[in-house]
Structure 1
Amino acid sequence: MIKEVIGHQKTAGCWILLFDNTSLLKHKQKLGTTPTGFGDPRNVLQLSLQHQCLSMVLVSHSLTPYTASRTDLIYNLNLIAAANNISICLLDHIVTYPEGYYSYRDNGLLTYMRN
């Protein structure tokens, strides 16, 4: 489903998918490239508030197979901590690559976020 939402990418990049209180995709936006990442968590949260969304999924596209990185883990934790204060939930951080995908939630790195 993610590849249908962001399209089949030939270059690396970072997107945010924002969902409303009924879990419908309300907004998607490209935020940057893989080297620059998603940008400041405050900007990500501001975008969520602007579109009145309660949950989000971060999506990165890599040109090579991916496993969790320390940088992404720290970013996710910082985003979760900030989002928690305004009742916004990070549902997952998914990294797609030509042969598959990596999900932080599926790999147990966001399991503590269960409601």
Structure 2
Amino acid sequence: MPNSSIKNWAVDDRPREKLLLKGYHALSNAELLAILINNGTKDKSAVDVAKALLISVSNDLQKLGKLSVKEILKLKVKGIGEAKAITIAAALELGQRRDVAEKKLDIVIRSRDIAEYLKAQLQYKKHEVFAVVYLNRANKIKHSEIVSEGGMAGTVADPRIIVRKALENDATSIILCHNHPSGSLKPSRTDEELTRRINEAAAYFDIKVLDHIIVSEYGYYSFADEGLL
């Protein structure tokens, strides 16, 4: 059987040449992955291997983007060894970092803007994390960080730590955020109670909680927009 390396394909079937001629928008997800994979197996082309990989994650690129190298290998897709799994994982991570960089902002004007930025940062986390954005009087972001990490079911954020960090950064307002790995955007009673406790603790120091945003791969939920703050 002829070598299945991309360089031996007909010009019209080569993803690299197609990208150069028509642009990356003209390529399917499988063709883009095939460029990373470079060559297939004795029986399958690189595109076929890419299609098999996509099928193993239900054709969900976001799901693929959450996988580590070891998890990609556990899918046992013929033609995907450690080197190719590393290449794929690195490329997807770069895409996620680009998304974060594009949505980065210095001043918060609308909840939607900060929600999109936080969503880009946290939506691919496989466990729940709690992040806080610290702002000055002009709503300029002075600092942001993950203050707590938990498991698949939840995380616990300490109001004292959040308020202390706000004082350390001379913040006059804060935005709370956590992700839901399950994909659900509905706040739990625990989410509502934690928001209330942090709001009360911050108020003692004249620090305003502007919003609490829940993010997942499916979007975001704003406590402020829903009238819960």
Query: TM-score category by the smaller chain?
Result: 0.7 to 0.9
Alpha-carbon separation, structure 1, partners of 2:175 and 2:226? 15
Alpha-carbon separation, structure 2, partners of 1:24 and 1:18? 8
Which residue of structure 2 aligns with residue 113 of structure 1?
A: none
2:189 matches 1:70: yes
Amino acid at match of 1:60: H
2:129 matches 1:10: no
Aligned-pair RMSD on alpha carbons? Answer: 1.6
Alpha-carbon separation, structure 2, partners of 1:13 and 1:81? 21
* Larger helix share, 1 or 2: 2
Computing the radius of gyration over CA atoms, which structure comes out larger, 1 or 2? 2
State which of 24, 30, 41 in structure 1 corresponds to 2:140: 24
Task: Give matches, 1:48-87, under 5 Å.
Answer: 48-63=166-181, 64-87=183-206
2:197 partner SS: helix
1:4 partner SS: helix
Alpha-carbon separation, structure 2, partners of 1:4 and 1:68? 19
Number of aligned positions between the proteins: 109
Moved over 4 A (4+): none
> Which structure has the higher relative contact order (CA within 8 Å, separation 6+)?
1
* Larger strand share, 1 or 2: 1
TM-score normalised to the size of structure 2? Answer: 0.45
Percent of aligned pairs with the same residue? 27
Q: Structure 1 residues 42 and 36 mapped into 2: Cα distance closer, same or farther (>3 Å)? A: same
Task: Return 3-12 or 69-78, whichever deviates more.
Answer: 3-12
* CA-CA distance at 1:82 after TM superposition: 1.4
Alpha-carbon separation, structure 1, partners of 2:185 and 2:123? 15
Deviations 1:31-83 (A, max 9, x none): 12252232x10110000000000000001111212212111111111111111
* CA-CA distance at 1:92 after TM superposition: 0.4
